[in-house]
Amino acid sequence: MWTCPLKRVSEGGTWNLGFVDQDGTVIWPDAPVLPGTTMLLLQSLDTPKQVTAPVQLADVPKMAAAFATNTTIGVRSLSALDDVQFSQDHPVLAALREGYAGIPGDRL
């Protein structure tokens, strides 16, 4: 996981990072990132509620779940960031996976 000079969480080397807060809202870190296709597709879903907001390193322990996205893995739960443990079976993660799987592919 990378952080910007302001200590905001941003992304990984080949993946975007998202969090689920205690209220079940998906939080996409507001930091310099390369917007991935999977992240953009997930942001187009109507549910669950999603926001883009700064996530400081100090905010990470307050999150209920964390996940990584890219075109190869879709939505992968993260078990930990540093010494902070996360739920891997949070219902919002299941909703994201289901929503992602339901996005129709482009016709070739």
Q: What is the pLDDT of residues 7-56, one digit of tens each?
A: 788 878 889 999 999 999 999 999 888 889 999 999 999 989 999 999 99
Q: Which residues pair with 28 in a beta bridge?
A: 52
Return the SS3 of 53: strand
Greatest alpha-carbon span in the chain: 45
pTM: 0.91
pLDDT at 6 over 90: no
Tokens of 94: 């299941």
DSSP for 39-55, please give it.
Answer: HHHHHT-SSS-EEEE--
Q: What pLDDT does 1 receive?
A: 59
Radius of gyration of the chain (CA): 13
Q: What pLDDT does 105 receive?
A: 86
Residue 89 and residue 77 in contact, taking contact as beta carbons nearer than 8 Å: yes
Q: What pLDDT does 97 receive?
A: 97
